[in-house]
């Protein structure tokens, strides 16, 4: 089971990926 810290870290990674221009151009 995931800890809250692990979930927070995953969200930060996902948000960072979405905010990068390369991710946007890839869509």
Torsion (CA) 9, 12, 13, 18 in degrees, nearest 10: 160
The residues spanned by each domain of the chain are 1-27
pLDDT tens digits, 1-27: 889 999 999 999 999 888 877 656 655
**Sign of the C-alpha dihedral, residues 10, 14, 20, 25?**
positive
CA distance 23 to 9: 19
Q: Is the pTM of this model over 0.95?
A: no
């Amino acid at each position: 089971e995931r800890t809250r810290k692990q979930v927070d870290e995953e969200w930060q990674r996902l948000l960072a990926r979405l905010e990068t221009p390369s991710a946007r151009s890839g869509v």
